[in-house]
């Protein structure tokens, strides 16, 4: 709504008529394109019942989607917990009064934010095999390590910008009652910053969940890989299985996005920081979340 | 170290990076165009266009890019017969560009929209108050400020796009992550050095873009 009110004034009678016409034309085009798509799919034989029933059968769920989803969630959960720890450690490290620590943490965080997750995943898998880890767990470990390093670095940025985003009166009050800088960070600023960043944090979980699908490239048996596997057997319902896998991901991410929004609303009164979740609706401006510029601009969303 | 350099020289690393840069270039342009259209849909006071824009954005940005790329190579091409070229490599490249485009258009749209959202309502009210009609107030007052406010988020999307070009490995496009996989399989002793080389390559590409975006967004910032 806010965007609308900036560019468009409340419409007058003529504007309303134009908007109604465009509205109807737009709706018609929308319906037409959906119909066109369905016709195309039918022509390609993709609406056939046997394709959908084999993609939705009990066997498909118990032997493919659910085990795949389980692996996806396992890797995502490990990555969430470890990324949080990593992010807290390095985020606080970047606020340290010791210049060496600050520099080191800054270097690590900026490096891992600039490197694609897939590159880290491939490297982590290769290193896992090289040092002789159990071959069956290497893919999981590689997925978790790569997701942790990248998202941990993004969370470290969230922690830092969260503390910097607090009104400076908070820090001054801490110093005024005789705390050291470290004490004021620990007992005044960090708790508020963490509450303020919770919505963004939940949005970051969407990124983790989405990026866990990269695991299929290093042969981790996650949801996408099982869907592909199921789709490559007769009667080859690959369109249908990918559709189901995508729906599962979308539903989970919507849920996370919704939680982020609720949190942002509820937590506003518990901190002096700003709680706006990074993306309105559906969360996650994923991509490399704050993948911003080094020393990037805080408070913007985006991938 | 000298050994490692000879190993490196056996692989066409620059050529692989060039593929990523080409992917970024084409997908970036197409996604910006599509994203702009979507942003106009979402900003317009027309419910059906709002609905189309926000549905697209909410679905696409909650879908893993990997699924979109796999969809291109496993469904669009073999099942739905969408083909850009008879040459496999060329076909896969454009399927990859298509996947990157539809995904990142959602993020370009949101970046542009957040730019429009940085413009205070008072600016539009002032423009109307001095009698500017819709097009003039958009052209002279609102969009210039909106564009400046969108630079930082656009920079972030471009950076994300650069990094995400590695995901088209899922679509069999021979870019840097596929080359890297080949290298670590053949030269497993040099895993660490290979990783560092590839990673530093990305740092070299990504950091200047980030610095430029930050510089521009600060320099062109509208002081309020």
Give the Cα separation of B85 and B78 in Å (integer).
13
Inter-chain residue contact B177 with A118, CB threshold 8 Å: yes
Shortest alpha-carbon distance between residue B27 and chain A (Å): 15
- Region A7-30: mean pLDDT is 91
Question: Any chain B CB within 8 A of the CB of A208?
Answer: no
Inter-chain residue contact B142 with A7, CB threshold 8 Å: yes
Nearest to A286 among B61, B123, B170 (CB): B61
- Region B22-36: mean pLDDT is 97
Question: Any chain A CB within 8 A of the CB of B129?
Answer: no
- Region B170-177: mean pLDDT is 92
**pLDDT class of A5 with cuts at 50, 70, 90:** low
**pLDDT per residue as tens digits for the range A22-74:** 999 999 999 999 999 999 999 998 998 889 998 999 999 999 999 999 999 99
**pLDDT class of A285 with cuts at 50, 70, 90:** very low
Report the percent of chain A where pLDDT is more than 70. 89
**pLDDT class of A152 with cuts at 50, 70, 90:** very high
- At residue B157's C-alpha, the angle toward residues A245 and A94, to 5°, is 100
Q: How many domains does chain B have?
A: 1
Give the residue extent of every domain in chain A: 12-47, 59-270
> What pLDDT was estimated at residue A117?
96
> What pLDDT was estimated at residue A276?
66
A-B contacts at Cβ under 8 angstroms: 263
**pLDDT class of B167 with cuts at 50, 70, 90:** very high
Does residue B110 sit within a domain? yes
**pLDDT class of A301 with cuts at 50, 70, 90:** very low
> What pLDDT was estimated at residue A35?
97
**pLDDT per residue as tens digits for the range A85-124:** 999 999 999 998 899 999 999 999 999 999 999 999 999 9
Residue the block writes with tokens 């498909």: A60
**In chain A, positions 53-82, which contact chain B (CB-CB < 8 Å)?**
none
**pLDDT per residue as tens digits for the range A127-136:** 999 999 999 9
Does residue B197 sit within a domain? yes
The distance of Cα A13 from the centroid of its chain, to the nearest Å, equals 43
- Region B55-70: mean pLDDT is 96
pLDDT of A290 strictly over 80: no
Nearest to A217 among B74, B170, B194 (CB): B170
**pLDDT per residue as tens digits for the range B68-96:** 999 999 999 998 988 999 999 999 999 99
Lowest mean pLDDT across A179-183, A286-290, B14-18, B99-103: A286-290
Report the percent of chain A where pLDDT is more than 90. 66
Inter-chain residue contact B195 with A291, CB threshold 8 Å: no
Inter-chain residue contact A23 with B185, CB threshold 8 Å: no
Does residue B44 sit within a domain? yes
Inter-chain residue contact B62 with A2, CB threshold 8 Å: no
| CATH code where residue B57 lies | 1.10.3720.10
B165, B28 contact by CB (below 8 A): no
How many other C-beta atoms lie within 10 A of the C-beta of residue A169? 10
**In chain A, positions 235-254, which contact chain B (CB-CB < 8 Å)?**
238-239, 242, 245-246, 249-250, 253-254
Report the percent of chain B where pLDDT is more than 90. 76
pLDDT of A269 strictly over 50: yes
Does residue B224 sit within a domain? no
Report which listed range, A165-174, A254-263, B50-59, is most confident.
Answer: B50-59
pLDDT of A1 strictly over 60: no
CA nearest A217 in B: which residue?
B170
Nearest to A115 among B65, B155, B202 (CB): B202
SS3 of B194, please?
helix
Inter-chain residue contact A238 with B75, CB threshold 8 Å: yes
What fold does the segment set A59-270 form as a domain? MetI-like fold (1.10.3720)
A103, A88 contact by CB (below 8 A): no
Q: What is the ipTM of this complex?
A: 0.92
Nearest to A3 among B43, B104, B207 (CB): B43
Question: Which of A4, A5, A6, A72 is best to mutate for the B interface (most B CBs within 10 A)?
Answer: A6
pLDDT of B133 strictly over 70: yes
Lowest mean pLDDT across A2-6, B26-30, B162-166, B217-221: A2-6
Q: What is the DSSP string of chain A?
A: -HHHHHH-PPP-HHHHHHHHHHHHHHHHHHHHHHHHHHHHHHHTTTT-HHHHHHHHSHHHIIIIIHHHHHHHHHHHHHHHHHHHHHHHHHHHHHT-S-HHHHHHHHHHHHHHHHS-HHHHHHHHHHHHHHTT--TTTHHHHHHHHHHHHHHHHHHHHHHHHHHHTS-HHHHHHHHHTT--HHHHIIIIIHHHHHHHHHHHHHHHHHHHHHHGGGGGGGT---HHHHHHHHHTSTT--HHHHHHHHHHHHHHHHHHHHHHHHHHHHHHGGG-SS----SSSSS----TTTT--STT--TT----
**pLDDT class of A303 with cuts at 50, 70, 90:** very low
């Amino acid at each position: 709504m806010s965007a609308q009110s900036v560019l468009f004034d409340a419409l007058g009678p003529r504007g309303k008529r134009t908007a109604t016409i465009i509205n109807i034309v737009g709706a018609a085009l929308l319906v037409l394109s959906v119909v066109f798509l369905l016709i195309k799919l039918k022509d390609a034989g993709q609406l056939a019942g046997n394709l959908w029933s084999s993609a939705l059968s009990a066997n498909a769920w118990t032997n493919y989607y659910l085990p795949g989803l389980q692996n996806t969630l396992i890797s995502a959960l490990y990555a969430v917990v470890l990324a949080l720890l990593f992010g807290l450690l390095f985020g606080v490290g970047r606020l340290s009064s010791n210049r060496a620590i600050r520099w080191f943490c800054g270097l690590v965080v900026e490096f891992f934010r600039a490197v694609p997750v897939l590159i880290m995943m491939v490297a982590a898998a290769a290193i896992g095999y090289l040092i002789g880890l159990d071959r069956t767990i290497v893919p999981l470990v590689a997925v978790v390590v790569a997701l942790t390093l990248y998202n941990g670095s993004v969370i470290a940025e969230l922690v830092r910008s969260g503390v910097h985003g607090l009104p400076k009166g908070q820090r001054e009050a801490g110093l005024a009652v005789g705390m050291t800088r470290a004490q004021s960070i620990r007992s005044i600023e960090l708790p508020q910053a963490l509450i303020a960043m919770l919505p963004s944090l939940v949005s970051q979980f969407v990124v983790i969940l989405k990026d866990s699908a990269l695991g299929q490239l290093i042969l981790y048996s996650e949801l996408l890989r099982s869907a592909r596997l199921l789709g490559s057997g007769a009667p080859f319902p690959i369109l249908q299985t990918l559709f189901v896998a995508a729906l599962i991901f979308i539903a989970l991410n919507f849920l996370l996005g919704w939680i982020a929004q609720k949190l942002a609303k509820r937590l506003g009164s518990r901190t002096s920081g700003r709680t706006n979740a990074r993306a309105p609706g559906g969360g996650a401006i994923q991509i490399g979340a704050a993948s911003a510029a080094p020393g990037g601009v805080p408070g913007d969303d985006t991938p | 170290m000298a050994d490692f350099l000879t190993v490196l020289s056996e692989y066409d690393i620059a050529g692989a990076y060039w593929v990523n840069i080409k992917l970024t270039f084409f997908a970036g342009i197409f996604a910006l165009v599509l994203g702009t259209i979507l942003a106009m849909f979402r900003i317009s006071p027309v419910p059906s266009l709002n609905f189309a824009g926000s549905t697209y954005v909410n679905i696409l940005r909650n879908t893993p890019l990997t699924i979109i790329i796999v969809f291109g190579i496993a469904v669009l091409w073999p099942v739905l017969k969408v083909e850009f070229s008879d040459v496999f490599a060329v076909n896969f490249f454009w399927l990859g560009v298509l996947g990157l485009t539809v995904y990142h258009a959602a993020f370009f749209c949101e970046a542009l929209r957040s730019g429009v959202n940085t413009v205070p309502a008072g600016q539009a009210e002032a423009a109307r108050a001095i009698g500017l009609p819709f097009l003039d107030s958009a052209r002279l007052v609102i969009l210039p400020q909106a564009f400046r406010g969108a630079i930082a988020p656009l920079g972030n999307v471009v950076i994300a796009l650069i990094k995400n070009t590695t995901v088209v490995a899922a679509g069999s496009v021979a870019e840097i992550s596929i080359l890297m996989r080949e290298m670590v399989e053949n030269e497993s002793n040099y895993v660490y050095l290979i990783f560092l080389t590839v990673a530093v390559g990305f740092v070299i590409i990504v950091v200047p873009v980030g610095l430029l975006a930050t510089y521009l967004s600060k320099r062109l910032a509208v002081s309020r």
